Structure 1
Amino acid sequence: MNQPTMNDVAAEAGVSQATVSIVLNGSSAGRVSPQTSQRVFEAAKRLGYRTNVHAKVLREGRSRMIGLIGDEVASTEFAGQMILGAQQEAWRRGHVLLTLDTVGDAGLEQAALSMMQSYRVAGVIYASMYHRIVTPPDGLEGVPAVCVNAQDAEGRLTSIFPDEVAGGRAAAEVLLKAGHRRIAMINIAEEGSRLPAASGRQKGFTEVLNDAGVALESRQLRFGTGGYEDGLRFGAELLDQEEAPTAIFCGNDRTALGVYHAARMRNVAIPDDLSLVGFDDQSLLAPMFSPRLTTFELPFVEMGRLAVTEVLKRRTVPKKLTVECSLKERHSVASAKVPA
C-alpha cells in the first residue's frame, strides 16, 4: 500500500495542499485558523501520514536531532541521569537525542562529530563523565554546541557544570550549624589539583570555615583520589589523632564509605561521635551507609535539560552556567558533643 501524500491529506481535510504544508510544518500561526489546523492534523492521523523527514532537513538545513558526544557517558550511573534530562527536554521541544559514546578515543570522537554533521543535527552537546576542563574538537565550530559537566578550556563554547564552590560552602554550613569546630576534610585529588570538583569543593568549604574562625589546619586536611581506600586510610589517620575531629567532609561518597568503616573499626559511632557529609549522592552506594549519609546531589538531570535549552537557542556568545548541587539531609550529622 502506498504511503499517503499531502494531497491525500488535503482531500481528506477539504483544504488545499499548501494549507496542509503550512500546518504540518509548524508555520500555521496567524496564517491558518486553529479549527482548520485541527482538521488537518486529524486527517493526517486518520490516513497515517508521516512527514518526509529527509525533505524537511533539505528544506530547513537542519534536522530535529540533537547530538550528544561523551567520553564513557553511556557506561556511568551519573551519565544516565544527564542523558535522561537531555532526552526529556529534547522531546518536549520536538527533537530527539542522538547519543554516541567515544570511550575517550579522539579518532572515534572526530568520526562521531562528522557523522552528526552529515545528519545536520540542530546542535551538539559535548559531555564529560566527570567535571573537568576540556578542549572540545575543532569541528564543533560549524554547529551550535555546548559543554556539559565540563568547562571549555578556551571559552569558545557555553559551559554548563555543577556549582562545586557553593556545594563546598553548604557542606561547611551544615557542620558549623550543628556546632562542630574540630572539622576535617578528605579531598578527592592531589593538593593543588585543577580538577574543578576537588578545587571547587575545597575552596568553598575552607572559605566558610575561615569566615567562622575555624580554619582548617594542615593536619585536618587529606588529599586522596576519591576511592574507598582513601576514606579507610585517611579516616583512620584522622580518628587516631589525640584531638580527633568531630566532623569530616568527604569530597565524594566513596571516600565517605571508607571513613564509615574506619570509624566502625574504632567503635566511633556515626553520628553520635562523628558527623559525616559526602558529595555526589551515588544511588548505588546509598544502601551501604548505615546510618544514611548526608550528601549533595550532582544536578545531572538539570544539566542535561539546560544543555538542550542552550543549544537550541543557537547562542553565539559563550557563557558559564553553574547549576546548584542540592543537599540531601539524612542521618549522618548530629550536634557536636565537644565544645570549641
Structure 2
Amino acid sequence: MTNKSIGIKDVAVAAGVSVTTVSHVLNDVAYARISPETREKVKATAERLGYGPNRLAQALRTQRTGMLGLVSEEIATTPHAGRIILGADEAARARGYNLMIINTSGAASDESRQADVEALLERRVDGILYATMYHREVTLPENLSSIPAVLVDSESLAGSVASVVPDEEGGARVAVQSLLDAGHRRIGFLNNTDDVPATRDRLRGFRNALDEAGLDGAAAPVESELSEVLGGYVAALRMLKRKDRPTGLFCYNDRMAMGAYRAAAEVGISIPNELSVVGFDDQELIAANLYPGLTTVALPHYEMGAWATERLIDAIEGKADLTVLAAKPTILQCPLVTRESITNPHPGLS
C-alpha cells in the first residue's frame, strides 16, 4: 500500500489499539496515560505501514504549520557557533517540525531585524528562535512579541523573552581550576575589551576561583585586548614580560590563546613546560590544531540550540509557559576539554 492509502484507523487496527491512542502517541500528547511499550508499538507500526500525518489537514485542525523560524545573527557563517543551528534543527525534526533560517548581520539596523522577523511571520511560522554568534544583550524587534520566541546565546535588555546562555562564570572557574589542579599559583588572564556578559562574567569567575584557592583574585594580573589572535598576542607579550610572569595563563577565547602561543614562541617560552595555557570556546579548528593541543572550555552551542527549540515547541503545543522562563536566563554548563597545553609548573618558576 502507498502512504496515501494508509490512515490512522489502519495503524490502530494493526497495533491493536484505539484511534485515540494512535493520535495521542503520534502527536506526542504529554498528558495521555499510555505505557512506554504501547507507545513504541504504535510508532513501530506506523513506520512499518508507512503512515505519516497529513500536514495540510493537521495545519487546518491545529492552526499550526509545523515550521519554526530562526533569525541567525551570523551564526550560519560562523563554524563553531553553527552547532546552534544543528542542535535546533535536530531537535525540531525529532518533534516533527522544520526550521526556516534567515541569516542577518550583527550590525543590522532595527528596521532590518524587524523586516527579517516579518518575513518569517508572513510564512506563518509557529515560533521563532533568535540566535546571536556570541553571548550578548540585545534589543529585540517589536514584532517578535507577536509570536512564541526564545533567545539563544543572548539576553533581552527588557528581560521579556525566554533565553538560554552559557555559564560564562562557571566556565572560567573550570578553566582556572584546571591550572590550580596542576599546581599553578601565578595565573594571569587575557581578557576581552568589549563590554559584554562574557567579558564581565569570565573575569568574575577567574577572580573568584583564585579567591577560593586562597589566592588574591583582585591582585592577579589581567591584560585586556580585542578578542582576536592579534589581541591575544599583544596582551600575552605584556604578560610574559612581567618580572613575576605567570606560569599559567587563562585566555578569554581560543583565538586569544592562539596569539599567546605566538607570543610565547617569540620570547622563547615553551608551552606547556614553562607556561600552561587554557582557552575558552573549544573552536575545534584552532584548539585541536595548535601544538600542543589547547585545553579549553567548550561553549554548549548544540545544547543551547536544542534546549531553545524544545522549549519553543513545548510553548507552541501548550506544554510550557515562556513568560515563566523569561524571568531569568537558563544557564547551561561549559565543560572542560582536556588536551596537552597544561602541565605542572616548572620547578624554577613556581
TM-score after normalising by structure 1: 0.85
Give distance in 2, aligned partners of 1:12 and 1:205. 61
| Residue 108 to residue 57, structure 1, CA distance change in 2 (3 Å) | farther
Structure 1 match to 2:141: 137
| Residue 339 to residue 14, structure 1, CA distance change in 2 (3 Å) | closer
Shift of 1:111: 2.6
Maintained 8 Å contact 1:181/1:339: no
Q: Deviations over 1:282-313 (max 9, x none)?
A: 11213541111110111000001100111122
Structure 2 match to 1:278: 279
Structure 2 match to 1:200: 201
Secondary structure at 1:223 match in 2 = strand
Shift of 1:11: 12
Alignment counterpart, residue 341 of structure 2, candidates 288, 313, 332: 332
Shift of 1:121: 2.2
Matched, 1:321 2:323: no
Secondary structure at 1:301 match in 2 = helix
Structure 2 match to 1:160: 164
Q: Deviations over 1:38-92 (max 9, x none)?
A: 89947973xxx87553443232112211111121111101232111011111111
Structure 2 match to 1:128: 132
**For this pair of structures, how many residues does the alignment match?**
327
Secondary structure at 1:120 match in 2 = coil
Structure 2 match to 1:89: 91
Which residue type is aligned with residue 97 of structure 2? H
Q: Deviations over 1:126-162 (max 9, x none)?
A: 1101110012211122221111100111111111000
Q: Which moved more, 1:304-313 or 1:97-106?
A: 97-106
| Residue 338 to residue 122, structure 1, CA distance change in 2 (3 Å) | farther
Give distance in 1, aligned partners of 2:114 and 2:86. 24
RMSD: 3.2
User: Can you give the 5+ residue segments of structure 1 that lack an aligned partner in the other structure?
Assistant: none
Shift of 1:243: 1.9
Which residue type is aligned with residue 111 of structure 1? A
Which residue type is aligned with residue 324 of structure 1? Q
Shift of 1:12: 10
| Residue 73 to residue 20, structure 1, CA distance change in 2 (3 Å) | same
Which residue type is aligned with residue 162 of structure 1? P
Structure 2 match to 1:63: 65
Give distance in 2, aligned partners of 1:38 and 1:298. 35
Maintained 8 Å contact 1:20/1:40: no
Give distance in 2, aligned partners of 1:202 and 1:11. 57
| Residue 122 to residue 227, structure 1, CA distance change in 2 (3 Å) | same
Q: Which moved more, 1:57-66 or 1:289-298?
A: 57-66
| Residue 22 to residue 338, structure 1, CA distance change in 2 (3 Å) | same
Matched, 1:77 2:79: yes
Which residue type is aligned with residue 330 of structure 1? R
| Residue 322 to residue 338, structure 1, CA distance change in 2 (3 Å) | farther
Secondary structure at 1:98 match in 2 = strand
Structure 2 match to 1:118: 122
Give distance in 2, aligned partners of 1:233 and 1:102. 31
Spell out the pairing of 1:1-340 with structure 2 (5 A cutoff): 9=6, 13=10, 26=26, 41=46, 45=50, 52-104=54-106, 105=108, 106-190=110-194, 193=195, 195-216=196-217, 220-314=221-315, 315=321, 316-317=323-324, 318=326, 319-336=328-345, 337-338=347-348
Structure 1 match to 2:318: none
Maintained 8 Å contact 1:9/1:43: no
Maintained 8 Å contact 2:174/2:335: no
